[in-house]
Structure 1
């Protein structure tokens, strides 16, 4: 049986409209493609380098294994780590070096052999006894504030010289004598010096009147000259006492006549030490007498001055305050002069003429002689002894040694401190370079001070020390 074609079954092309145009029911003719083919497919991620290499060389990539992964990571991180190490080393090498410091390795104290000396402390009142720059023998009596009479003038003289310094031997500026000072010259119940209003006296003579003749009227005159009024000067006195650590002292007048001006023996020793540092004060306090501008001679009330190496300082007596004395004396020990400073307050009648002044002078004299007899010298370190090291801050230590014998002055049973005071240390220096000072004592003017020097060359820390530093 013969098969019919699709056209015969009506499945052929639709009839063509007149003019060759397809009828409305015919299929739409496809438009030609213009430009690249559009697609909504997302781009593929880039292939790993090994896969790309495999495509180019037509070699399949090696299979991933833990070993190959580790090797690949080592190849990637090793250069980075090496770079960081190099940067770290450069930074460590050029960082500023720490400042070298001195460290004491010797014993930080020395105790003199033997038992403590017997000090003849007064039976009544108060007393205190020190050796400037070395230490203290101690004190006696209850250290409570009591009237000190004219010993208060030590503070007056100290303040005048502190605020108006005088060179050794200089007279200083002149002070106009006012009417008040002249009027007070004739006060019969006080110690005074005759001055006339309108006259002029030098600053040095004013100090001589205060410390030697114990002139109350001149003490008040210099207070007005310095501060404008006695009240303002008293305020300065109390401020200075506070600065010196005189915690049990109160001043209410520049002369000490008032019983409300009170202090202790221990506090007066603190003041005496400070006052004796002033050259003009030492010169005046050590005078046995002076002649005023009117030609009148005045003897020093402190009759100990000029005997047994006593060089000052000031007496003070009233019937209510009793006998008081602030004193200074010298003692040569092994070629070095040591200054003994002490005070006795509220001493009763005694001494050669059984007066309160003689009682104070006698008590002071006994303390001075006891201190002079107790002082001795001892060599505690020989020249060249290593006493410490210079620490460069990175583990390097260069020994330092004393450049001469270290001798201490003291008395049996006394312990003295040894301390280092370093100079500004360089990072490099030759052996023998002075790098500091070893001090034996309390560090004040009378302390023993010996230079210390490098025993070996001080060198800069090495590269390894710089590299491994933490700080």
Structure 2
């Protein structure tokens, strides 16, 4: 019936059952999408954390080296300067003036070093022949007139390289220094340039040469530099054999004596004396001393001794130093083979000791204070057993040892748990 309150009302569009179901499905789809997003983000996080480079392991030094107990007191000369070293260990000490000073005929050690570098000789080899010229004779006569240290020569005389070096080092002949310089380099100035280049190459920062003989006081050095020069020179067997000779016989000059009167006394086996009014008495020396560890070379230099007779003063000062040092030398183990010197650490807790596979044993003395340093190598997140992880640097008295530092055992990389919990 029209107009009846009971009449059926027409339903509005979209208000049926299907629309109610749709309204319930929308939140579910949004929730599902959110879950999917979370899963995708989580998987992406896993991929990023799993694929990104892991932190590196790091090695550090944990060991130290102890000072040798006791105190060393040596009778250093009261004038000039001096230095003393044990070959293979380093400097025992330096005393007095460390300013560059004239060295007189000790310069001839560098002259011999350069000649032997340019014209090397084997044991027993005489080397090339050097013919004495009229110019050489005229120079010899001039040197005699000015009372220099000389070796008698004659025009046409033939000296082997070894004989010329003997004339240079044993009677300390200034004229032979110039003969060798011209023979080697063509001119004295060119040879002096070689001497200074060699000094620079050896790290002799306070040494400068202006002549091959040392007569000019502009040729200067320090005791420490000369000790280094002495070590280099004595490493050449030909040089070492010559300076150990108390005398030698040469074609024209005959038998000539060595000015090193300490030879064959107190273990001295060379190297070179020098003296003049500017330099005073000077002595660069090598002495062999017996220690509990065996026979060791003590190399030293004494400069600027002014008490007459000046050469004797230099020799006596050297003898006193060697005699005082001799009973103080002892065998010292600074590092042992297989010793743990450090550790490898990682952020995720893996670790390994760091060891060295070689030791360092030296001849030391009271008060010797070694220093230990570490130079790490770049490492990844994992380390193999036996892998080199750096270099242990041991410094003692100016001498340096460089030892490979090794991982004692393998160090694994980080696990998944570490990767997931560490951004």
Assess same fold via TM > 0.5. Answer: yes
Equivalent residue, structure 2, for 1:269? 227
TM-score by length of 2: 0.78
1:369 paired residue among 323, 340, 343: 323
1:150 paired residue among 84, 88, 105: 105
- Tell me the distance in 2 between the aligned counterparts of 1:81 and 1:294: 98
Equivalent residue, structure 1, for 2:218? 260
**Distance apart, 1:214 and its partner CA:** 1.0
2:414 aligned with 1:458: no
CA 1:436–1:58 in 2, change beyond 3 Å: closer, same or farther? same
**Distance apart, 1:450 and its partner CA:** 8.1
CA 1:443–1:326 in 2, change beyond 3 Å: closer, same or farther? closer
Q: Which structure would you say has the larger RCO, counting Cα contacts within 8 Å and 6 or more residues apart?
A: 2
2:319 aligned with 1:331: no
Equivalent residue, structure 1, for 2:310? 356
Q: Which has the larger radius of gyration?
A: 1
CA 1:101–1:307 in 2, change beyond 3 Å: closer, same or farther? farther
- Tell me the distance in 1 between the aligned counterparts of 2:261 and 2:191: 29
The gaps in structure 1 that reach 5 residues or longer are 1-53
Q: Is the 8 A contact 1:135 1:416 kept in 2?
A: no
Equivalent residue, structure 2, for 1:166? 121
Q: Please list, as runs of the form range in 1=range in 2, the aligned pairs for 1:142-221 lying within 5 A after superposition.
A: 142-186=97-141, 187-188=143-144, 189-221=147-179
- Tell me the distance in 2 between the aligned counterparts of 1:90 and 1:364: 69
Q: Please list, as runs of the form range in 1=range in 2, the aligned pairs for 1:211-290 lying within 5 A after superposition.
A: 211-290=169-248
Post-superposition CA distance 1:172-228 (Å, at most 9, x none): 444443333233334322222233444443333322222222121221122122222
2:342 aligned with 1:388: yes
- Tell me the distance in 2 between the aligned counterparts of 1:340 and 1:405: 23
- Tell me the distance in 1 between the aligned counterparts of 2:346 and 2:170: 56
2:49 aligned with 1:113: no
Equivalent residue, structure 2, for 1:74? 35
- Tell me the distance in 1 between the aligned counterparts of 2:364 and 2:115: 33
Match of 2:370, SS? strand
- Tell me the distance in 1 between the aligned counterparts of 2:303 and 2:285: 11
Match of 2:46, SS? helix
Number of equivalenced pairs: 402
Match of 2:224, SS? helix
**Distance apart, 1:160 and its partner CA:** 2.2
- Tell me the distance in 2 between the aligned counterparts of 1:206 and 1:317: 21
- Tell me the distance in 2 between the aligned counterparts of 1:298 and 1:102: 62
Match of 2:272, SS? strand
Match of 1:246, SS? coil
Match of 2:184, SS? helix
- Tell me the distance in 1 between the aligned counterparts of 2:189 and 2:22: 107
- Tell me the distance in 2 between the aligned counterparts of 1:261 and 1:417: 35
CA 1:465–1:135 in 2, change beyond 3 Å: closer, same or farther? farther
- Tell me the distance in 2 between the aligned counterparts of 1:469 and 1:436: 34
